[in-house]
Amino acid sequence: MPGKIQVARQLLGRPLTLTEKILYSHLDKPATSAYERGKAYVDFRPDRVAMQDATAQMALLQFMTCGRDKVAVPSTVHCDHLIQAKVEAGKDLQIAVDSNKEVYDFLSSVSNRYGLGFWKAGAGIIHQVVLENYAFPGGMMIGTDSHTPNAGGLGMIAIGVGGADACDVMAGLPWELKMPKLIGVHLTGKLNGWATPKDIILWVAGKLTVKGGTGAIVEYFGEGAANISCTGKGTIGNMGAEIGATTSTFGYDESMERYLRATGREAIADLANGIKEHLTGDAEVYANPSAYFDQVIELDLSTLEPYINGPFTPDLATPISKMKAAAAANGWPTNVEVGLIGSCTNSSYEDISRAANLAEQAVAKNLKAKASYTITPGSELVRYTIERDGYIDTFGKIGGTVFANACGPCIGMWAREGADKKEKNTIIHSFNRNFAARQDGNPNTYAFVGSPEIVTALAIAGDLTFNPLTDTLTNEAGEQVKLDPPSGFELPPRGFDVEDAGFQSPAEDGSGVEVVVSPDSQRLQLLEAFPAWEGTDLKGLKLLIKAKGKCTTDHISMAGPWLKFRGHLDNISNNMLIGATNFFNEKTNSVKNQLTGEYAGVPDVQRAYKAQGIGSIVVGDENYGEGSSREHAAMEPRHLGVRVVLVKSFARIHETNLKKQGMLGVTFANNEDYDKIQEDDTFDVLGLTTFAPGVPLTVVAHHKDGSKDEITVNHTYNDQQIEWFKAGSCLNVIRKEFGVA
């Protein structure tokens, strides 16, 4: 790595940021000149791939078709998404193991066959397990989950991608990324009192919004960064996905060394110490950051107060001192019904120990939690250790319920009693996302995001407007008591411990392992290649939906109960765009079928068009496809015959996923043209026969009254991505390269 960095420094002719050091040392081929940020497409060679069980199914179904006998880089599968939180960890895990046996057996056998490490159900959440076992300073990895940047807490460039990207890397091909812009966040001072690393990213999200980091890597630096624990850095990197950032990272420091040694990776710590000057940005960069970053943000941690973000979006940031006024002004329900801590974002030993300290205070001060309270450990390593150290018993004293080591409520895998009544209510959690209906399926649940400490305090108070920094509570004896600022441990004083971490090594030789997929399965379906482009402009496309407002991948392909179909493309396609709001009637899952004039569900109308051989177009708003990396949001429209997605702007991962699946994703050159789209429109897309990088296309909207609008649309396809479009998908190109028919 030092040698590659020296070459890059000479090439750029200046000092380097940490981000540039890692990117330029992972190039597929040596560069001959500097790559222009935000414009140049660059091929990289990541060090490893990680996949969670919901996305791994489709990624590995694709990999199975490409003609390789073994993955080309270290790769792992983590069973964390398919476990529903309902009663408590033991019962919920057993139900998941029984009900998902077919999928788990498939993932286990395909991992054995192709040389992937397999983490069983209950082992933990992918990002926590990666941080504990695989992340390392200066490395590059990709993962089929948008919160892969959690590994930035250990100084990696870790990027969330779709399954087709993972398939490329596992097949031994380079991985393409547009050279990111750089945002520097200069942290000074030190957190104190109730402020936590979570509050840093909540503050940054309020500053940059859900799209402010799009196309950029965020690099944190300064004395304030060095004062944050490694797992705290992971929390910040994790939730950087909520500002649209490609990833976030930190320079190697003593907190990372401590964490590596605590998790049994002394050899990696020793290696990192040997080249530590190469595992952070050059001193000149941090002395004059505005000369090296595209944007610089300053934050004095000693002035930071806790934040609560939401509802319905993770970037609506309110300092806790202003929450009472904000709730009154907006009519937010203030009775907190449930407080939930843990998840991939905030389930470290440090997080749990500080929350447990507040629970201990509540018991000592004769307080009872007024809200329900749940704990989701991030891994079996953490769960076993906190049980050994008495924290689970402590949570039990205030009525806490421990869920399985899995994503659970964070991704909608929460069987919340009464949620089907759709009543207006408030919850607060330490997760990363709080889109409408995401956690419990109820669009009237006002979900707020805070640190585990603030979530615990508000669960004890039962009140969204309670400020533990200043307010008192009435205890069981009628006395006024105040919670002290929480304290805890960065790492377990007695070390981590675990009996069975839940890991399965792959077979030495997997060639004899049979991977079985029943043709009658409702959970798994072998893939058929998507058809190649017909070689002509697209004519006569029907409008499927004009989506209004926020349209995340949750809206395009819901999780929750639909997760069980993640390995069956046709079945899961029945959730396509059912959460998107139709501009013309303000309803979800209700669009006009132009063949009959009647309104029906989005997948039903699209299947009707497909049966008649008619293509369609989806029109969307700003930051279309933000949120989860799930490539199903691109594969379902492709499978059902949608040809074009036309929006004001795309979220990065979703735009890439569309390209990988052979879809045409384009943006309005003039955003006001969105208003010209009418409900009964039929479309032509012109210019495809001369499709070229940087050359706009024309979409002709034919209106019902016989008039038409010619709309100029832009695209970001390069030559390679145009080949994907022409071939029908990136995977079709890979198959051809490996001689697979």
Q: pLDDT per residue over 175-211, tens digit each?
A: 999 999 999 999 999 999 999 999 999 999 999 998 8
186 is an active site residue: no
Dihedral, CA of residue 175, residue 219, residue 314 and residue 564, to nearest 10: 30
Q: How many CB atoms lie within 10 A of CB 180?
A: 26
Dihedral, CA of residue 529, residue 530, residue 532 and residue 536, to nearest 10: 170
| Catalytic option among 186, 555, 566, 630 | 630
Q: How far apart are CA 239 and CA 389, in angstroms?
A: 28
Q: How far apart are CA 41 and CA 88, in angstroms?
A: 47
| Domain-embedded: residue 704 | yes
Token pair 């956690």 in the structure block, residue:
439
Dihedral, CA of residue 454, residue 455, residue 456 and residue 457, to nearest 10: 50
Q: How far apart are CA 374 and CA 338, in angstroms?
A: 8
| Number of domains present in the structure of the chain | 3
Share of the chain above pLDDT 70, in %: 100
CB 437 within 8 A of CB 414: no
Tokens representing 534? 């017909």
- pLDDT tens digits for 637-678? 999 999 999 999 999 889 999 999 999 999 999 999 999 999
Mean pLDDT of 263-287: 98
CB 582 within 8 A of CB 545: yes
| Catalytic option among 47, 53, 92, 145 | 145
**Last residue within a domain, chosen from 250, 274, 302:** 302
Q: How far apart are CA 94 and CA 31, in angstroms?
A: 52
- Does the structure show a pLDDT above 90 at 560? no
| Domain-embedded: residue 491 | no
145 is an active site residue: yes
Closest CA to 522 of 574, 567, 459, 483: 567
Residues 325 and 298 in one domain: no
484-488-491 Cα angle (round to 5): 170
| pTM given for the model | 0.91
433 is an active site residue: yes
80 is an active site residue: yes
Q: How far apart are CA 645 and CA 635, in angstroms?
A: 12
Average pLDDT over the chain reads: 96
Q: In 3-state terms, what secondary structure has residue 545?
A: strand
| Domain-embedded: residue 487 | no
Q: How far apart are CA 82 and CA 199, in angstroms?
A: 29
- pLDDT tens digits for 218-270? 999 999 999 999 999 999 999 999 999 999 999 999 999 999 999 999 999 99
Q: How many CB atoms lie within 10 A of CB 44?
A: 20
Residues 367 and 444 in one domain: yes
Mean pLDDT of 560-582: 95
**Last residue within a domain, chosen from 481, 509, 529:** 481
Residues 452 and 334 in one domain: yes
Domain range for residue 370?
Answer: 308-481
523 is an active site residue: no
Q: How far apart are CA 144 and CA 166, in angstroms?
A: 7
| Domain-embedded: residue 62 | yes
- Does the structure show a pLDDT above 80 at 538? yes
Residues 334 and 292 in one domain: no
Residues 98 and 120 in one domain: yes
Q: How far apart are CA 95 and CA 79, in angstroms?
A: 14
- pLDDT tens digits for 212-227? 999 999 999 999 999 9
Tokens representing 147? 């919160």
| Domain-embedded: residue 493 | no
Q: How many CB atoms lie within 10 A of CB 259?
A: 24
- pLDDT tens digits for 475-501? 999 999 999 999 999 999 999 999 999
Residues 469 and 605 in one domain: no
Query: Which amino acid, 564?
Result: K
- Does the structure show a pLDDT above 80 at 629? no
Q: How far apart are CA 680 and CA 266, in angstroms?
A: 64
Instruction: Measure CA 347 to chain center.
Output: 16
CB 301 within 8 A of CB 188: yes
| Domain-embedded: residue 638 | yes
Residues 222 and 277 in one domain: yes
CATH number at residue 638: 3.20.19.10
Residues 312 and 247 in one domain: no
- Does the structure show a pLDDT above 70 at 457? yes
Q: How far apart are CA 127 and CA 131, in angstroms?
A: 6
Query: Which amino acid, 432?
Result: N
Mean pLDDT of 373-381: 98
Q: What is the pLDDT of residue 741?
A: 64
- Does the structure show a pLDDT above 70 at 528? yes
78 is an active site residue: no
| Catalytic option among 353, 451, 628, 629 | 628
CB 656 within 8 A of CB 159: no
Q: How far apart are CA 230 and CA 217, in angstroms?
A: 19
CB 179 within 8 A of CB 39: yes
DSSP 318: E
| Domain-embedded: residue 527 | no
Share of the chain above pLDDT 90, in %: 95
CB 457 within 8 A of CB 466: yes
| Catalytic option among 186, 433, 639, 643 | 433
What is the DSSP track for 658-725? HHHTT-EEEEESSGGGGGG--TT-EEEEE-GGG--TT--EEEEEE-TTS-EEEEEEE----HHHHHHH
Cβ neighbors of 625 (< 8 A, separation 6 or more) are 551, 552, 553, 556, 633, 650, 651, 653, 654, 655, 657, 658
Closest CA to 256 of 246, 248, 266: 266
Residues 584 and 709 in one domain: yes
The rounded radius of gyration (Å) of the Cα atoms in the chain is 25
Q: What is the pLDDT of residue 738?
A: 84
Q: Can you name the residues that pair with 300 across neighbouring β-strands?
A: 188
Query: Which amino acid, 124?
Result: G
Q: What is the pLDDT of residue 470?
A: 98
CATH number at residue 245: 3.30.499.10
- Does the structure show a pLDDT above 70 at 612? yes
CB 142 within 8 A of CB 165: yes
DSSP 301: G
**pLDDT level of residue 136 (50, 70, 90 thresholds):** very high
Q: In 3-state terms, what secondary structure has residue 72?
A: coil
Q: How far apart are CA 580 and CA 578, in angstroms?
A: 6
Q: What is the pLDDT of residue 187?
A: 98
Element (H, E) at 170: helix 163-170
**Last residue within a domain, chosen from 481, 502, 523:** 481
Closest CA to 578 of 521, 534, 506, 640: 640
Residues 317 and 295 in one domain: no
| Catalytic option among 81, 127, 354, 416 | 81
CB 426 within 8 A of CB 459: no
Q: How far apart are CA 231 and CA 404, in angstroms?
A: 20
Three-state SS annotation for 580-596: CEECCCCCECCEECCCC
Residues 245 and 347 in one domain: no
Q: How many CB atoms lie within 10 A of CB 303?
A: 10
| Domain-embedded: residue 289 | yes
Q: What is the pLDDT of residue 234?
A: 98
Cβ neighbors of 709 (< 8 A, separation 6 or more) are 673, 676, 700, 701, 703
CB 391 within 8 A of CB 138: no
Three-state SS annotation for 556-588: HECCHHHHHHCECHHHHHHHECCCCEECCCCCE
Residues 163 and 30 in one domain: yes
- Does the structure show a pLDDT above 70 at 698? yes
